[in-house]
Amino acid sequence: MTVGWTIDPVHGLSSIVHDRRKPMIKKTFKIPDMTCSNCAMKIESLEDDLDGVKEVNASYHKLQMVIEYDETSLTEEEIIAAVKKKGYTAIAS
């Protein structure tokens, strides 16, 4: 969110707020080869690796991750490829 300023000759200085937050979506991926909490932590580190990701929650008990991301910055295929780079398989649900 950014704030800009305008000068109105009648009312003086006023602020304009621009909401530039990107629309986020949540998507669940199955990760069938996750076996422990360290695996889940490795998957959750995608949050730091990928631009456009707001949050990653991985559960080795459920064999899945839920990722919240900006779909204008990141594709499902890019997420799957990033998971594969970490050594795991991601399947869109």
Domain parsing of the chain, residue ranges = 22-92
Cα distance between residue 90 and residue 55, in whole Å = 16
Per-residue pLDDT of the chain (93 residues; tens, 9 = 90+): 444 545 555 555 554 544 456 689 999 999 999 999 999 999 999 999 999 999 999 999 999 999 999 999 999 999 999 999 999 999 998
Which DSSP helix (H) or strand (E) runs through 4? strand 2-8
Q: Give the pLDDT score at 45.
A: 96
What's this model's pTM, rounded to 2 decimal places?
0.75
Task: Please state which of the four CATH numbers 3.40.50.150, 3.40.50.300, 3.50.50.100, 3.30.70.100 is assigned to the domain occupying 22-92.
Answer: 3.30.70.100
Beta strands in 9-92 (DSSP E): 12-18, 24-30, 53-59, 64-70, 91-92
**Residue 82 phi, psi dihedral angles, 5° rounding:** -65, -40
Cα distance between residue 88 and residue 71, in whole Å = 22
